[in-house]
Structure 1
Amino acid sequence: MSALHWAGLLLLAAVAGAVVPFQSAINTNLARGLGHPLWATLASLLVSVLVLLPVIAALRLPLPSLAFIGKAPLWMWAGGAFGVCFVALAVMLVPKLGASGFVALALAGQVLASMVLDHFGLFGLLEKQLTLPRVFGAVLLMAGVVLIQFSPALEKSATAVG
């Protein structure tokens, strides 16, 4: 893989992460207007379908294989349930934790779960052993989460002591 291709993938991953706080903040306001976070979750996912269908049509993607659909294991369909879980929890937690707190904690959960998935090569992923440097990187990320989420409390206690 060329360095330019790799840089493009890194940029796309960063964009994917950058949309999360926007989505969460917008859906939080939608929940207020609709009266409940689950209504906002449903609306968000319906808009996702309405945006995705014309893209699929424009790209002229072939229909999926009915044979695969019939024999795919049930766990392969869980992605949608995880999506509902993420969107609904974001809508419920962003007002309480703030966008940065929610994203930091969500990132911490993603890193920990990803390391388990990689270590065991679950769901057909390439195995990546849990090494000391990878664990150290996760610990540094967790320390960052603590600083992002609890820095106002830490500042107050430092001021009270000083």
Structure 2
Amino acid sequence: MSTWISQFALFFALIAGAVVPMQAGANAALGRNLGHPLWATLVSLTVSVVLGIAVLSWLRLPMPSAVSAIRGPFWTWFGGIAGIIYVSSAVVLAPKLGLTTFMAAVVTGQVLISLLLDHYGLLGLAVRPITLLRVLAAALIVSGVVLLHFSSAPATR
């Protein structure tokens, strides 16, 4: 991958990461407005489906066959399960922990499982072995979550 593509990919990943706490905060407020966090989860995921359909239509992408949808390994369907787990957790936990601690914990969970997925090349990914530097980086992230959690007192309004 060329350098500028790699830099663009990293920049876009940072932007994608930046919208996640906004999603958690917006969904938490939506849950309060709708009276229950699961309603916010359902509405949020419905908006995602509607927007996804609009983008697919705009791009004029052909509909895949039902056979191609069920042809892959069973774990390819886990993305939908993961989505509802994340959105529901964000709606319930972000207001309790605060966005900073919640997001740090989410990122920590992502990094720790990613180390294992990379190391073993799971889910069809390339193998990237766990190294001492990668373990140290993960330990720093875990330390950051612990520090954030114990330094976060809810502010009074």
Cα deviation for residue 66 of structure 1 reads 2.9
Matches within 5 A, 1:68-147: 68-147=68-147
CA 1:28–1:152 in 2, change beyond 3 Å: closer, same or farther? closer
Bigger Rg, structure 1 or 2: 1
Cα deviation for residue 152 of structure 1 reads 4.3
Aligned partners of 1:73 and 1:129: how far apart in 2?
24
Cα deviation for residue 50 of structure 1 reads 1.1
Identity across matched positions, percent: 50
Residue identity in the other structure for 2:124: G
Name the TM-score, length of structure 1 as normaliser. 0.90
Asked whether the equivalents of residues 104 and 149 of structure 1 are also in contact (C-alpha less than 8 Å), the reply is no
Deviations 1:32-76 (A, max 9, x none): 111111100000000111111111111111211333223223221
Deviations 1:64-104 (A, max 9, x none): 13332232232211110110000000000011000001000
Aligned partners of 2:70 and 2:77: how far apart in 1?
12
Matches within 5 A, 1:12-91: 12-91=12-91
Name the TM-score, length of structure 2 as normaliser. 0.93
Aligned partners of 2:94 and 2:70: how far apart in 1?
38
Aligned partners of 1:85 and 1:148: how far apart in 2?
23
Segments of 4+ in structure 1 off by > 2 A?
70-74
What secondary structure does 1:95 align onto? helix
Residue identity in the other structure for 1:52: G
Residue identity in the other structure for 1:28: A
Deviations 1:112-158 (A, max 9, x none): 000010111111111111110100010111112122222247xxxxx
Aligned partners of 2:85 and 2:118: how far apart in 1?
22
5+ residue gaps in structure 2? none
Aligned partners of 2:30 and 2:16: how far apart in 1?
21
Residue identity in the other structure for 1:80: G
